[in-house]
Each structure stands twice: as structure tokens, then as C-alpha cells.
Structure 1
Amino acid sequence: MDGVVKTYFQGGLHNTSHPSYQAWSYAKLLQDFNKSVYEDDIQLKPCAYLHNFTGENVLDHDFYKEYVHKAPVFKQRDHRKLRSFIKKHVKYGDHSDILYRIDNGEIRPSKMLADSLESMLEGNEEFVMIDEQKVAFEYVMNAVESAEKDQKKVILVEGGPGTGKSVIAVNLLVKLIGKGHVTSYVTKNSAPRQVYTSYLTGSMKRSSVENLFRSSGQFIDAEPNDFDALVVDEAHRLNEKSGLYSNQGENQIKEIINASNVSVFFIDEDQRIHINDIGRKEEIRKWADEFDAEVIETELSSQFRCNGSDGYLAWIDHTLQIRDTANTDLSDIDYDFQVYSSPNKLFEEIKKKNEINDKSRVVAGYCWPWESKKDSRAMDIVIPEHGFSKQWNLKDHGQKWLVQEGSMEQVGCIHTCQGLELDYVGVIIGPDFKVREGKVVTDLDERYTYDSSIRGLKKMRKKDPDKAAAVADRIIKNTYRTLMTRGMKGCYIYCTDKETEEYFRNRVR
């Protein structure tokens, strides 16, 4: 992967940024956001010194030459080369307080960064806003522009799948940067961050774009109002604690509101698919009150990008038995929904759709172990009676799976497609979702044991079985609701259970 190496840290082998890329990206961050650096034309010369590293032929391999050229990498035995590098670029003492000026420089996005972002957004069909999206965008822009420093604002934008929440969020990021506001796009799930970064990376280098996208756990130590605005996409996925072991910080909602003068939360409560998801409107309002923030709410209730509009979403809710609606079948709804008796046929049809514009994929409920993570030759989703076997999403590309070459040959899971849109989606409904005599029955034990979404539920079941059953039911139903609403033009499904297949056929009719 570009600018990425595999190395041993945090107790195992992990993909991480190449040291040269790290050093160069830090310099780019200063060039893009530190007013003293870009206005006073302060020259930054990054490098990396690995004082304990003695290896050869990896870090300075030709594959990484672009970044090594921008930020030379020095290893343990290269201390003389490092000395020469420093002497070449630092010839005199700091008589003009350069370090002081950088350290105290005002944090503002540079005009070059703003102009580059604007030019990349123009003509990029991924981010064109339509109808209500444009109205909601202007509504939020007006609220941010009119905000005063001593009065926090919390803006709640509610909308279901396909309403273009992410499209609005990315447009807000670019426009606010263009107006000189210190802004970041925030999500808990890294899949949208990585995919939108790849969409926006054009004439600009990846580092400049990546610096605008942040994880929801990055605000633990932030000072009040470090940011003019934080645009929080997929706010329903926010957690209480942060960090690899969920043991850092107090509450992500609190930390985001504290760090920003204006916090914009895009939310769909029916897409909470993890035991630790706390993103509810009630929770956000509670923390807004703690900061005495003005709360502004708006809703994206129409002009869904799904061809079936909100009629299809209402049908999904009714069919998955999330809530009763009047939409008991798909008649008069312009949406391509099909049920297949064979996973092979499902895969073939989605591949045909994908040949049009590379915007169709197959996904599945997380009911199969990820064997290929340890053995690249192993198959994961195996359905013997149909001779069907596929691997989960590409291991090395993880959250960026959706836009990787060859991803059509794999099956995506909830963690790599939530928050992203396709034209057509194929969904394999696993044994965790069954229908018996017309009633949906969810089964926690059929979920993959190591799925982080349900970690802790079996322990909860021993103490409070009713609560655990209710939480599991919500997670499993919301997971399939999310998967089945990724396709803006159509959704094709295959059910591992025959009675469930017939149930869906009858519901379509």
C-alpha cells in the first residue's frame, strides 16, 4: 500500500505509515494550517531517524522513493549522514525566533489548501448535492457563520440511509475550510474517512487531505474551542470511551462539543449496530445542555437518493420488524429488489451491475469466521450446498475495501460499508436472522464470536437475559437494515434459511 509498511508494535505485526511519510505529513500539516509557516514562507525540511533500526532494503526500497526523497530516512548507522543533512539545512543560529513563531502561530487553513479542496470538489459527482441536501447544507453553513465565540452551537441533522448525510458533511468540510474556519470531518468508523480521502485526493497529496479527517476518539485532550467547527458523520456510531481497549476519555460526545465552537452531528439512530454505540439525539442534547450550547435541529426527510425514496425504507423497517409501517409490499415503489435462491446467482447478477461503473458490491451478515485473515488461501463465507465460497473484504485494505481493485471478488461486512453508498448491493442474510411462522427471530449465537459489535453481550446475557436479547435483536436487525440500504438503485438478497427466503418473497408481493 502507498506510504505504508508492516512492522512489529503494539504486540504484533501491523500496517503503519512509513517513517518518511509520517515526517513529511507532519510538515504538510504545518504548511497547510500554521499561519506563520505559510505567510512568512518558513521552509520545513522533514526527515526520519530510526536510531534503533539496523535493517536494510525495506524503508529505502524504490516503492517508497517518493516519500524518502521528501523526507530522507536515517537508520542506526546513518548518524553521520543525519549530521550532514542537518548541517546542510541549518547553517546559522535562530536569530529570527523561527521556532517561537511556529509554536505560537495562529492555526488557520491556508488559501492554497482551501483552493485545492474547492477545485477537487467541483465536478466530482460523488459530492454533488441535490434538493434538500443543498437546503440542509445552507442551513448549517448559516448557523456556523453566525456563531459567536462565547456561545457554543450543537446542530443535529437527522436523516435515513441515502439522504446524502455524508455528501453534505464533506461539502461542509470543504466550504468551511475555504472560509478560513478550522474544521475537521469526524467519524468513529474509519471506512468513510478512508474512502472519502481517496475520492478527494487528486492534485493534492494524500497527507493534506488526511489531515482533515479525524477519528472520534482524537479529542480526549483537546482544549475548549480548539476547532471552529467539527462535522461529525455517522454520529450514531459514537462511543463513550476511546482508545484501542476502550479505556480512555470520558465520553466522545462531550469531548467533541468541548473541542469545537460549533458541533454538527449527522445521525440515524436506526443504524446503531454495535453494543457500544451511544449516538442518540437524547444523549447529544444532554451534553449540549452541560455546555449551555444552543441546540439546532433539522431533518432530511425527503428526496432520498434511493430510487424507492422513503417508501423502500419504510418497507425495510416493516419487513425486518423494526417498526410497523403502512408499506407492506413493494408495489408502486421504483426500486429494484430481488430475492435469489442461489448465492452464486446473486454474485453473478451483482458482477453484471458492477461492470457498468464499479459501484456494486456483495456484503453479508457477520456470521462466518474470518479464516483468510490468518491464511490468505482460506475461504470464509462457505455455503457447501451451493458450492459457494468467498473471502471477507481484503485484509490489507480493511476499511478502504470498497474502492480497492479486486474488491468485487470479496464479500464486505458491516464495518467496511456503513456510511457509504453503492448503486446496487447484494446481501447474504446469514443464520443470525430467521423468520419462523411470520415472526423475525434473531440469534446471537449465530453471529461470529469475535465480532466486536457483540463483544460483552454473552456476558450480559448471564446477568440480564431479557436486556441482552433486546440489545442483540436491535443490533442484528439494524445491521441488515444498514446493509440492505447501501444500494441506491437496487438490493438483491440471498437467505441461508429457506423459510426466511419465502418470507421475503411474500413481502415483495
Structure 2
Amino acid sequence: MTTELSAATFKLAATAALSPAQQQLEHQLFTFINEHLHTPQPGLFVIHGDAGTGKSAVLAAAFARLQALSRSQTANPLQGTTNYLVVNHNEMLKIYKRLAGEDDQLRKKDFQKPTPLINRLAKTNQLADVTFIDEAHLLLTQPDRYNRFNQHNQLSELIQHSRVVVMVFDERQVLKLKSYWQASALQPFLAAYPHQQFNLDTQYRVTGSTAVVDWINHFTRGQLTAKPHVRDFDFRIFEDGQPMYDLIRQRDQTVQLSRMIATADFPYVVNHGTWYVTAGSLKLPWDKVNLTDDPWALRPETLDEVGSIYTIQGFDLNYAGVILGPSVGYDATTDRVIVRPERYEDQEAFKNRDDLGNLNPLKAQIIFNSINVLMKRGRYGLYLYAVDPVLRQRLLAL
């Protein structure tokens, strides 16, 4: 495995080890699997944690161990089990399948998108023994004919077709209404099954002081606090997008894995020409549809594109240049960050919900969630440019 691939993903480097909290999580997870593998009712193990807390790293390591035990020639309680890791995210699925080729105990067929797996298990009337779900907050909570999902909740279907389900869930990374969970709905849902929950709260991606993470957390709740200055994390706010891009290019030349990313505030239609993101004097094309097996962040040509939440969620960058588009603004009266859903160009995010009442607060939360995902990509640096001039001046004043 290349160093770049390890750095860009949740895959631990060869010399790395799980932290004590992650080791405790893995131990509890396997205890839970063994206890619930042969019980009448499915068991549900939920891993919570903010972006960058190592949820996927634990999940990937635990799944590799599970499959090694399943395929071991030595008798053990998990020998011969049929297990899957599911993720409703094309770019992350590419990483999982790529990593499968580097581990003798893993197969590409171990990794699936939810709808094809649900439909196949239902058609053959089969049960998976253990189903791992990464980014469970991206699962659908309503039918979606475009994705050939005709049932009502992908998590319910996966539980119905599994003996044990292990899922990563972060409500602050829900990016579409069709994946939305009401805060009051998840706990009663879990209560219907034997379940256990584990929270990871140590930040592993954003290096240095917790001050930067705290600043981002305040920002994504609409609050502005003094810009932190920390020695080992480069946090800058720019008056124009071009100098930010120039610095990102320099960072990529020296340490790689540095990219421009933006909120979904600029028009884009799939397979209909080239669409652009503008940031002051900067004009760059949106990321293209990626039909290769290589994730967006690992392809050299994407240094000349702007990535979206859909290409970068779940990945690590070394330096992230984040463009806050027109939907993100500032209210001088209250000194708060505001969002304008009517300016958000990802209308797919707001489609097809008539069961949630007033959608305006939920739409605002989805935009803030997308900002949270973008701002927590960089390990060593975060660069910000705000298209809205009032917000930009307020950020520069910090």
C-alpha cells in the first residue's frame, strides 16, 4: 500500500495501532457479536463520533479481523460466517475494494452498496451473519426509485436480513432529507432491538489543539468565536480565492493530498458540460463524474478541480481549501452565521420529504452539516474563503 493511500483514508498505516479507546471499542464489538450471533432477535451495535474521530478506522480494522476469523482454517466461533461491509458512498466503496486487494483475508465482494445487497438477500431469502455499515447516516429513510430502493428504510431492511448489525452513525453528517433521521426517532428505533452504543470523542484527523475543532463546532452552530492560533495547524482566512488555491497547489507539491472543496452553492448538472465554482478572482471546474477505480482525492488531475461533500466525505486531506458559497452568510444584528437554503444549489438534498413538517430548519441543518464535513477534512491546515462579502469581512476581522 502506498503511503499516500494510507494517509488519504481510514486505513491504518502498517506501523499504526488502534488507540486505547479504539481497542476497547473493538473488544466490546467482538464480545457483542459473539453474544448475539445465535440469538432469536438481531443485535445492533452503534458507533457514534464526530468527523475525524476514527470511526471508519476501527470499522475497517474490525471487519478485516472478522473476515480473517471467518476464513481461518482454525476452528473458532466466527469460522464460516457470511459477513458484509456496506457503505452508501461510491468514493468510499472504491477505497474499500481497493484495500481488499491488499489483504489476503478480504474479497471485493465483501463490500457492497446497500440497495443491491438488500435486494439480493430478500430475493434469496438469506441472512447475513454480521453486516457492518459505514456512514449509516447516508442510508435512505424513504423509497428511492432512482436507486431502485422500493422499501421504506435501508437500515430496517439490513437489520431484517442480518443476525448482527454494526453501524457507524453521526447525525451531524446527514446531507440529504431522504437520509434524515429525526433526533427523537433513532433511540426508539434502537430500543426495539438488543443494542449497545459506543462513543468515540478523540479527534484524530485535525491535528494540534482542540481549539480549531471547537471553532468549527461553534461556526456550524451559527456562532463566531475568536480565530484560534495554534502552532501545529495552519488555519487561514483569505480575501480572495486565487491566493488560497495557489497555496493549496504549493502544499500539494510538498506534502500531497491538498485539495479545493466547496459547499454545494454553484450550479452543476451531471453529464451536461463543465460547471464552475467561483471564489473572487478564482474560477475552477466542479469535480467531474469519476468512472475510474481511483478515489477523487488520489487523482493528480483533481488538483485543478473543486471537490464536493460527495467526493470528499470520509476522506482525509493534508490541507483543505474550503469555499463557502452564497448560501452561507452573516447577520450583523445577532453576530451569527446564517444559511440561505434557497441559494443552495444541491436541490437533490432537499427532495422528496412530506412527512417531516416544516423543512426549513432541517434544510438549514443539512447545510451546516455539509460545512462541518468540509471543514474537518484537513489534517494540518484549513483555508477558508467566503463568497458572501459581509461574512468574508467578519471572518477576516476575527
Return the match for 2:109 from 193, 211, 224. Answer: 211
Query: Are 1:222 and 2:112 matched, yes or no?
Result: no
Task: Measure, in 2, the Cα distance between the counterparts of 1:433 and 1:320.
Answer: 10
1:197 is displaced (CA, Å) by 2.2
Residues 166-225 of structure 1: per-residue CA shift (max 9 Å, x gap) = 1111112111111113221112222211123224434879xx743111112231463577
Task: Measure, in 1, the Cα distance between the counterparts of 2:198 and 2:60.
Answer: 18
Residues 424, 134 of structure 1: CA spacing in aligned structure 2 closer, same or farther, 3 A cutoff? farther
**Paired residues of 1:380 and 1:389 also in contact (CA < 8 A):** yes
Return the match for 1:392 from 286, 294, 311. Answer: 286
Higher Rg of the two aligned structures: 1
Query: Are 1:358 and 2:256 matched, yes or no?
Result: yes
1:337 is displaced (CA, Å) by 1.3
Query: Are 1:447 and 2:347 matched, yes or no?
Result: no
Return the match for 1:239 from 140, 143, 148. Answer: 140
Say which is worse superposed, 426-435 or 260-269, in terms of deviation: 260-269
Secondary structure, aligned partner of 1:129 = coil
Residues 186, 305 of structure 1: CA spacing in aligned structure 2 closer, same or farther, 3 A cutoff? same
Stretches of structure 2 lacking an aligned partner (at least 5 in a row) = 1-9, 71-80
**Paired residues of 2:44 and 2:165 also in contact (CA < 8 A):** yes
1:358 is displaced (CA, Å) by 2.6
Residues 123, 501 of structure 1: CA spacing in aligned structure 2 closer, same or farther, 3 A cutoff? closer
Residues 20-50 of structure 1: per-residue CA shift (max 9 Å, x gap) = xxxxxxxxxxxxxxxxxxxxxxxxxxxxxxx
Task: Measure, in 2, the Cα distance between the counterparts of 1:200 and 1:330.
Answer: 40
2:233 corresponds to which residue? 335
Residues 285, 298 of structure 1: CA spacing in aligned structure 2 closer, same or farther, 3 A cutoff? same
1:130 corresponds to which residue? 19
Return the match for 2:167 from 253, 265, 284. Answer: 265
Secondary structure, aligned partner of 1:161 = coil
Say which is worse superposed, 496-505 or 249-258, in terms of deviation: 496-505
Task: Measure, in 2, the Cα distance between the counterparts of 1:229 and 1:369.
Answer: 41
2:96 corresponds to which residue? 196
Asked which structure has the greater RCO (Cα within 8 Å, sep 6+), the reply is: 2
**Paired residues of 2:12 and 2:57 also in contact (CA < 8 A):** no
Task: Measure, in 1, the Cα distance between the counterparts of 2:301 and 2:82.
Answer: 37
Return the match for 2:278 from 367, 378, 382. Answer: 382
**Paired residues of 1:149 and 1:261 also in contact (CA < 8 A):** yes
Scaled by the length of structure 1, what TM-score is found?
0.66
1:153 corresponds to which residue? 43
Say which is worse superposed, 337-346 or 217-226, in terms of deviation: 217-226
**AA at the equivalent of 2:329:** K
1:415 is displaced (CA, Å) by 0.9
Task: Measure, in 2, the Cα distance between the counterparts of 1:309 and 1:267.
Answer: 25
Residues 456, 435 of structure 1: CA spacing in aligned structure 2 closer, same or farther, 3 A cutoff? farther
Query: Are 1:503 and 2:397 matched, yes or no?
Result: no
Return the match for 2:29 from 140, 148, 151. Answer: 140
Residues 259, 153 of structure 1: CA spacing in aligned structure 2 closer, same or farther, 3 A cutoff? same
Query: Are 1:179 and 2:69 matched, yes or no?
Result: yes
**AA at the equivalent of 2:130:** A
1:470 is displaced (CA, Å) by 0.7
Residues 209, 370 of structure 1: CA spacing in aligned structure 2 closer, same or farther, 3 A cutoff? farther
1:310 is displaced (CA, Å) by 4.6
Residues 430-468 of structure 1: per-residue CA shift (max 9 Å, x gap) = 0000112022221122222x54112358xx7xx97xx23
1:22-33 aligned within 5 A: none
1:159 is displaced (CA, Å) by 0.6
1:493 corresponds to which residue? 384
Task: Measure, in 2, the Cα distance between the counterparts of 1:389 and 1:123.
Answer: 36
Identity %: 19
Stretches of structure 1 lacking an aligned partner (at least 5 in a row) = 1-120
Task: Measure, in 2, the Cα distance between the counterparts of 1:406 and 1:165.
Answer: 29
Residues 333, 156 of structure 1: CA spacing in aligned structure 2 closer, same or farther, 3 A cutoff? farther
Task: Measure, in 1, the Cα distance between the counterparts of 2:30 and 2:126.
Answer: 18
Secondary structure, aligned partner of 1:424 = strand
Task: Measure, in 1, the Cα distance between the counterparts of 2:52 and 2:15.
Answer: 13
1:256 corresponds to which residue? 158
1:329 is displaced (CA, Å) by 4.3
**Paired residues of 1:238 and 1:252 also in contact (CA < 8 A):** yes
**Paired residues of 2:136 and 2:169 also in contact (CA < 8 A):** yes
Secondary structure, aligned partner of 2:178 = coil
Query: Are 1:415 and 2:325 matched, yes or no?
Result: no
Return the match for 2:266 from 368, 373, 393. Answer: 368
**Paired residues of 1:177 and 1:183 also in contact (CA < 8 A):** yes
Query: Are 1:470 and 2:371 matched, yes or no?
Result: no
Secondary structure, aligned partner of 1:505 = helix
1:234-313 aligned within 5 A: 234-245=135-146, 248-279=150-181, 283-290=185-192, 293-308=193-208, 310-313=210-213
